[in-house]
Amino acid sequence: MAELTLNYAQGDAATRADALAGPAGPKPRRALSRRNIFIYGTLIVVSMYYLLPLYVMIVTSLKGMPEIRMGNIFSPPVEITFEPWVKAWAQACTGLNCEGLSRGFWNSVRITVPSVVLSIAIASINGYALANWRFKGADIFFTILIFGAFIPYQVMLYPIVILLREMGLYGGLYGLILVHSIFGMPILTLLFRNYFTSLPEELFKAARVDGAGFWGIYFKIMLPMSLPIFVVAIILQVTGIWNDFLFGVVYTRPDYYPMTVQLNNIVNSVQGVKEYNVNMAATLLTGLVPLVVYFVSGKLFVRGIAAGAVKG
Amino acid sequence: MPSVVVRDVSLNFGSVEVLKSLNLEVGRGEFLVLLGPSGCGKSTLLNCIAGLLDVSQGQIFINERNVTWDEPKDRGIGMVFQSYALYPQMTVEGNLSFGLKNARLPKDEIATRIARAAEILQIEPLLKRKPLALSGGQRQRVAIGRALVRDVDVFLFDEPLSNLDAKLRSELRVEIKRLHQKLENTMIYVTHDQIEAMTLADRIAVMRGGIIQQLDTPQAIYSRPVNRFVAGFIGSPGMNFIEGEVVGGAAPAFDAGGIKVPLDRYEFGDGGARGGKAVFGVRPEHVALGDAAAAMPCQYDVEVEIVEPMGSDTLVWGKFAGQNLSFRVETERAVSVGDRVRIGFDPGRASLFDADGGERI
Amino acid sequence: MEEARRPNQLFRNLNAKFAAIPMVLTALVVFVGGTIWTIVYSFTDSRLLPRENFVGLAQYERLWSSSKWLISIQNLFIYGVCLLIFSLVIGFILAALLDQKIRFENTFRTIFLYPFALSFIVTGLVWQWILNPQFGIEGVVRSWGWTSFSFDPLYNADIVIYGILIAAVWQSTGLIMCLMLAGLRGIDEDIWKAARVDGIPMWKTYLFIVIPMMRPVFITTLVIIASGIVRVYDLVVAQTGGGPGIASEVPAKYVYDAMFLSQNLGQGFAGSTMMLLSVLIVLIPWAYLEFGGKKRG
């Protein structure tokens, strides 16, 4: 290392002057580089494909029928009217009755709220038992449960009809609530199990040393630490159950049809003149609950689907 | 001529200043270590030199060429990462050749370079394997090989040994040193491990808060740290710091709660022996005991409070002027808690820091 | 309290076992029991009500000679292959674009993902309206003067499944994009740096390094999309009702119609057993790769 000179501190005056002329600071980037045009251009075009249906729904639902027949579906309403919304809510006909969507809305509320509570309660306790109180055979049931999430529902549709009929719950709200709790179980149990497993095990051990039991640890230690995962589960379940169609149509009588089923019956009803504006208002109304949940929850929604899906 | 020059480089992420108008020159064939705690900007600086981060201000020269706006591949550098960053789906050979193939080098040239790198790093038997089938040490060798085949003058290492266990780390450390002696490339090496830094470096740049605190040879940094931060960061076990006051005048001394340490052997900096609050720093290995203490200019009696046997030697804790003081004792010497022992040290080998700014006095 | 000395295996963790009863019941009675029940009864001639008159494979023979079922299978195949390709390709490209440290990333992601929050019924009805030949895209383009323009997938038996596909891609790509984005964010950043130092162009880095590294994400996504494809039902019901004629029938709808509309339970059971079979063909190799492989090292 003898030839190694360690002190260039002052440098060579010539090199320094030379050098200062060269590039300095950040590499200049044009805001409209080809790269940026490509990236943002693509994203904006794709965004339009995604936003178009929402736009069309809103615009159509605010027009009168004559205007719809005259103009095109993309043009904004000349004369804004809320009459289609009122009609969709209170008067639209399904072929059976003309009470509008309101009945379906309240049915959906009466189905969704208890289903969400019940399914989350069951799944969180399941997940907790699986994560912290492993017992013999637990993994087998869990594996079956996860496999169950992928089995086409159609395979289990009729056996459940028989079970519900035996229990006297077929056709009513309680039967459907039970069905939602059952089919929510795989994904929610997985979600909670993974979450509880990720909590430090020492916490659980410390609580046991302190003499807390199964329920004590669940209610006093685990629950207070799990608020975020409960919110994720609620988001997942509210949107999932609200959007369900198949179970609603199979397991309830027309009186108890949830909103999605009623919406489909209104829009695809073959009787009468098609009122596209009312149809779109009804469609928007049905989509409103999950949309609000989505826009309010933002990142948590993403976290929910990522947690539920990737780790599966 | 310098191999790498960093001139007035600043880097801001939003309003956070990560590098503050930094200057650094690295000689041809020099092994420079950037050392500092996490978040000090050492890796950021390395990424700027590599061209993986755009600087906010300033220039970077490699081999006297202004590369400030150049892509990493055009800068004449090779880089080794902490996580190895091997391409997992390719064999070792594929990892080594991917960049070269991409640069459209002739096939036989690629083969020659791979053969040479494999020989130097002794990874010939691994060439057909995939990274997942390698041990940590082997992976890191392949990662070094990927830099080697690029046939460049400057190697950048970003904490390359941090993912390895202690034993492997010291083995590879020696190998990197051997590699440097053989290749005589310029190497810039980032680490938070002061032992790596001391053993490998020609010069060490100790960084904190985006600023180089001290840039000097390992020996100079060890024996004459420019401030309290550097003094505390280098050396293990750490330097003892005794708070007190400097009494100036013809016979300057350090006064710690009544105990006086004469400073006539201490080499003061430019400011001279100013009076005022100060911190006196002495390394545990510079404190002698027993007969050796008798030969030291300053001698004191202390009571042993804690004994920590470390194998090669024993670290003993006592109180000096009411403050903790540790010192190293050979294993053979029996010291037990409660003993009163005579210690001695040479203020000429100690450091004095300003109590407020922490600068060396 | 005698057990306190030497606790019986059965009573250890009693509370945990008690808490797991709903899970055990669901797994055994509904998932396993229900599936076996359906498979067994698919070999009977049940019509309005299930009955134990076994007729061998007669239901399956009838199923595979029914043109409605054959069209359903064909539709499912086209729909499935196209949806897989489109949603994976588009989903990955969108994720890669969003991963370029761009501005408004959250806005774009919100836009791409919101359809996923909507039900298939809502999706189907909106696209039914947009694809309406009189007022929708076809009508609008014609009103611009291109009077011979034709785009009426929902009323053309040959291409109706592609009309459904458009809606399905719209609804589900956001999810795929999110999964891919999570996968991309999981790639060690040093890999990108190493590739840049090696001078590998971005597209090559994606193609030869990043995508191979994301294999597990792709496989998981594939399984998720595939199990969704087999279930497709609501979308068809809302968008076309299976029409025109039986041109857009799908297996799930065939099963529902057989069970609850045409009092032909045996056909429904046979059809759903075939659906189960197709899922198992995807699922078993995947489970083997994902879980079996790990245990063997």
CB contact (8 A) between residue B50 and residue C197: yes
**Which of A135, A182, A305 shows the shortest C-beta gap to C26?**
A182
Residue C12 binned pLDDT confidence (cut-offs 50, 70, 90): low
User: For chain A, what percentages of helix, strand and coil (3-state, to nearest 5) are there?
Assistant: 70, 0, 25
The total number of structural domains in chain A stands at 2
Kindly state whether residues C24 and C69 are assigned to the same domain: no
Model pLDDT, residue A21? 65
Partner C, chain A 59-98, Cβ-Cβ below 8 Å: 60, 68-69, 72-74
Q: Give yes or no: residues A299 and A241 share one domain.
A: yes
Closest Cα in chain C, distance from residue A21 (Å) = 26
A160 pLDDT band (50/70/90 cuts)?
A: very high
Q: Which residues of chain B make contact with A9, given a CB cutoff of 8 A?
A: 25
Among B225, B251, B283, give the residue marking a domain's end.
B225
Burial class (CB in 10 A: 0-12, 13-18, 19+), A203: middle
B50 touches chain C (CB under 8 A): yes
| Residues of B engaging A, defined by a Cβ cutoff of 8 Å | 2, 5, 7, 25, 27-30, 54-59, 61, 64, 66, 68-69, 202-203, 217
C70 lies in some domain: yes
Looking at the fold, whether B178 and B246 belong to one and the same domain comes out as: no
Burial of B163 (0-12, 13-18, 19+ CB in 10 A): middle
pLDDT beyond 80 at B58: yes
Which tokens sit at B85? 């960053």
pLDDT digits (tens, 9 = 90+) for C16-29: 888 888 888 888 88
CB contact under 8 A, B98 and C196: no
Q: Is B52 on the interface with C (CB under 8 A)?
A: yes
User: Which pLDDT belongs to residue B78?
Assistant: 92
Which of C30, C228, C226 minimizes the C-alpha distance to A148? C30
The answer on B204 and B347 residing in a single domain is no
Q: Which residue has the higher pLDDT, A221 or A13?
A: A221
Residues C31 and C141 in one domain: no
Q: Given B30, B54, B61, which is nearest A27 (Cβ)?
A: B54
In a domain, B140, yes or no: yes
Q: Which of B29, B30, B59 sits opposite A22 (nearest CB)?
A: B59
Q: How far is A28 from chain B (nearest CA, A)?
A: 8
CA distance C288 to C240: 38
Whether A212 and A64 share a structural domain: no
- pLDDT of A100 strictly over 80: yes
Of B174, B224, B223, which is closest to residue B199 (Cα–Cα)? B174
Asked if A177 and A68 sit in the same domain, the reply is: no
Which one-letter amino acid corresponds to residue C67?
Answer: S
List, for residues C103-132, the tens digit of each pLDDT value: 888 899 999 999 999 999 999 999 999 998
Q: Do C130 and A73 touch (CB under 8 A)?
A: yes
Question: Domain holding B309: CATH number?
Answer: 2.40.50.140
HEC assignment per residue over A218-257: HHHHHHHHCHHHHHHHHHHHHHHHHHCCHHHHHHECHHHC
Q: Given a cut of 80, is residue A303 above it in pLDDT?
A: no
Q: Which domain holds residue B341?
A: 237-354
- Average pLDDT of span B159-170: 89
Check whether residue A60 and residue A127 sit in a common domain.
no
Minimum-distance CB partner of C196 among B72, B88, B98: B72
For residue A221, give its domain range: 103-257+279-310
Best C189, C197, C209 residue to mutate vs chain B (most B CBs within 10 Å): C197
Say if residue B67 is in the same domain as residue B133: yes
Q: What's the pLDDT score for residue A137?
A: 79
CATH number, residue C71: 1.10.3720.10
Touching check for A129 and chain C: CB below 8 Å?
A: yes
What residues contact A12, with CB distance under 8 A and at least 6 apart?
Answer: none
- Same domain? A52 vs A143: no
Query: Structural domain tally of chain B?
Result: 2
| Six token digits for residue C162 | 């592609």
- Tokens linked to B219: 């020996």
Is the predicted pLDDT of residue B140 greater than 60, yes or no?
yes
The reply to whether B80 falls in a domain is: yes
A8–B68 CB contact, under 8 Å: no
pLDDT, one tens digit per residue, over B31-57 is: 999 999 998 999 999 999 999 999 999
- What integer is the mean pLDDT of C130-154? 86
- Count of residues in chain C: 297
Pair (B62, B181) in one structural domain: yes
Task: Give domain status of residue C48, yes or no.
Answer: no
Asked, for residue A262, whether it belongs to a domain, the answer is: no
Q: Which domain CATH number covers B203?
A: 3.40.50.300
Residue pair A184/A237 in contact by the 8 Å Cβ criterion: yes
Answer yes or no: do A44 and A179 share one domain: no
Q: Does C191 touch chain A (CB under 8 A)?
A: no
When pLDDT is cut at 50, 70 and 90, the band that residue C269 belongs to is: very high
Domain boundary among B191, B225, B259: B225
Residue where the block lists tokens 């300053």 = B298
Average pLDDT over residues C267-293: 84
Total count of domains within chain C = 2
Last residue of a domain, one of B225, B252, B287: B225
Q: For residues B290 and A94, what is the distance between their CA atoms, to the nearest angstrom? A: 102
Residue B361 belongs to some domain of the structure: no
In a domain, A191, yes or no: yes
What is the phi/psi pair of residue B201, to 5°? -80, 145
Same domain? For B66 and B191 the reply is yes
**A204 and A135 co-located in one domain:** yes
Mean local confidence (pLDDT), B53-68 = 91
B85/C198 CB distance under 8 A: no
The pTM of the full predicted model, rounded to 2 decimals, is 0.86
Q: How far apart are CA B202 and CA B217, in angstroms?
A: 6
Range of the domain at C173: 59-295
Q: Is A278 near chain C, with CB under 8 Å?
A: no
